[in-house]
Amino acid sequence: MKKKASPRLVLLPPVPTAVVAVAVATAAAATLVSTLTTSGGAASWVVVAVAAAATAILTALVWPRVATDVLGLHGTSFPSPVDGRAWPLLGQLPQLLAESQANALAHQFVNWQQRIGWGVNYQIYVFGRRHVVLVDPDDVRAVTMRVDPPRDPGMLRHFGTPLSVDTLFLVPGARHDTARRLVHPFLSGAPTTECVLRVVNESLWGVHPQAVGAGGAQGGGATPFPRWAAHLDALADSGEPFDIDDISTSITIDVIETLLYSTSSDMADLATKKEWMLRLINDMTVLAGLPVPELLGSARMASLKKTGNNFLADFERLAARRQAAYADGSAAAQPPRDMLDIMLADLGQATGVYEGDRRRVAADLLFYLLAGYDTTAHSIAWTVHALLDNPEAEARLVAELKTALPPAGQPITAAHLSAMPYLDAVWKESLRLFPPAPNGTIRKLEADLRLPSNGNVIPAGTVLFIPVLPVHRNPTAYPSASAFDPARWLPPTAVGGGGHTPAAQRAARAHYMTFSSGPRACPGQNMAAVEAKAVLAVLFHRFSWSRVGDSAAVVMENAVTMRPAGLRVALRRRAAAAA
Ligand code: HEM
């Protein structure tokens, strides 16, 4: 599609829309009064008031489109998807609501993209407001890396409802930067890699870290979490089909809880936490679709706050236990062993990043938990799904694991992971086809933006959708885009075959948006990579897999994250690895 030349930008903030609406409504009311008066009938003020209000609402809904698309007052007008389902006044709102209730919002973005053209930015209207959907990789990078506008507090505010609106996810500017910097060295560095590998190894082969140290001791009578390798062995022996996404979710909660608190839940705790988190996401999703959530969703609001308070109480319980351990010398605050150590040290300072705000700390720990478990779990499950459909890729992976992994019972290290390039390529390709956060990010521009791709202009105040799935399915960036082809991520000279040209590889990398980029990019990507690859390595080294049911019946079900609904598998132990 031919891109339009950029017009002169004239700012039109929301106030003029209201002014126009009032002016038009007043004119309509005056006309009605004069008609009623001259025609001799008594002017009914109720009729006039209703007519004026209706005219004001209609004008507020229609005016932004006229101002943008007809008068060119809101910078560039982008192409808009036409599929006969957009309502004249509500725009694409009904589609957004319907697809998000059907857990299929990501599909909607792919459908719209197909209509508009791959790689082309477009616009949609929601209740009279224009949203620009950015998919051109240069534009996306300019926004996420250079401009870095905050996430749209209007649309995402429910993430703050449970505990604090100042959570890392929503807090703008410098307060975001300092909160990120506080945990960055720990989260993206060696301590996290070591911690994740320790948990994966220990939960596989032996003692679990919950038995060690101050934060970790389980209270008497708790049911210990059954080690998942044993659990999978039992499943293999029984031949029972099961949902791998469900099991990966338990594993990843176990790992992230250890990283946050050096403790992992026992089975009962785990089930409770899972239930809290599911309720939290469900409440947020429903509230996001309600027009006046404070009024129409008060029960959901109360439920969100109640779940938030459960997490706050959990944080306070763990913090008290840790403080007691510092006091009796059974734990040291330095060097930090987990995120709790880091947060408590900050809360203990007069000028800490968190300004002594315990709710804000609890909110961030909750957000790390939420962001860090099911995304990674889904990435594991989607990789299993993709490999089951691609036996050649599975065979190549298993051959690599055979040579690169240590003998059964010995820990997997970072060095082992870096000796498995095909595993890395398999995981990346699965994240391309099935990005666990398919809708990427939603930002709100604080200043006018000129797009680097073609000079198009978007004014301050515009909400930007930056979805991932339609970019990852772009056939011009990814030849045979729907094929699972790990070799895209291997150098052309890779042992066993790479194949793609350097230009194709550059395009593939430029369009890869799984974790976003810039100052708000996912801070857990290193952790996710270590965890998912270590788990996948063991799963495919130890077991051979078969699908129960039809591959086509597996559904990309997406609320906030995207999971393979309906994926059921059965296992058999591989003779050589099952020692
Ligand atoms: C495969 C797994 C994962 C995927 C696909 C993923 C994806 C993403 C994406 C797309 C964002 C939004 C970035 C933006 O708005 O520009 C994000 C943010 C975030 N992720 Fe992840 N993530 C994953 C794993 C994790 C893990 C394991 C953690 C835990 C440590 C984590 C913690 C976060 C946090 C805290 C943010 C907000 C960052 C900020 O606002 O500064 N994620 N993630």
pLDDT in tens, 286-307: 888 787 888 889 999 999 999 9
pLDDT bin (cut points 50, 70, 90) of residue 13 is low
- Residue 548: domain span: 173-573
Please give the pLDDT value at position 218. Answer: 35
- pLDDT digit string (tens) for 341-391? 999 999 999 899 999 999 999 999 999 999 999 999 999 999 999 999 999
Neighbours of 232 (CB within 10 A): 21
Q: State the pTM of this model.
A: 0.90
pLDDT in tens, 310-324: 999 999 999 999 999
Q: Is 149 buried (19+), middle (13-18) or exposed (0-12) by CB count in 10 A?
A: buried
The predicted pLDDT at position 211 comes to 36
The answer to the question of residue 156 being in a domain is no
What is the CA(282)–ligand 1 centre distance, in A?
A: 19
239-293 confidence digits (pLDDT tens): 999 999 999 998 898 889 889 998 766 667 778 888 999 999 889 988 887 878 8
Tell me which residue has tokens 């109360």.
Answer: 302
Burial of residue 22, with CB atoms counted within 10 A of its CB: 0-12 exposed, 13-18 middle, 19 or more buried? middle
Of 122, 17, 2, 1, nearest to 71 (Cα)?
A: 17
3-class SS of residue 151: strand
Q: How many domains is the chain partitioned into structurally?
A: 1
Assigned domain for 402 exists: yes
Ligand 1: residue of 141, 171, 522 to mutate (most ligand atoms within 8 A of CB) is 522
Do the domain assignments include residue 44?
no
109 found inside a domain: no
User: Is residue 314 assigned to a domain?
Assistant: yes
Whose tokens are 């051959």? That residue is 399
58 exposed, middle or buried (CB, 10 Å; 0-12, 13-18, 19+)? middle
Interface TM-score (ipTM) > 0.90: yes
Distances (CA, A) of 69 to 437, 517, 558: 32, 31, 32
- Ligand 1 pocket list (CB less than 6 A): 144, 168-169, 180, 187, 367-368, 371-372, 375-376, 379, 436-437, 440-441, 514-516, 520-524, 527-528
In a domain, 439, yes or no: yes
78 in a domain, yes or no? no
Per the DSSP assignment, residues forming a β-bridge with 555 are 565
Distance CA 471, CA 127 (A): 26
Nearest residue by C-alpha to atom 36 in ligand 1:
522
CATH number for position 300: 1.10.630.10
418: in domain: yes
Tokens at 290, concatenated:
């309600």
Give the number of the atom of ligand 1 that is nearest the alpha carbon of residue 440: 10
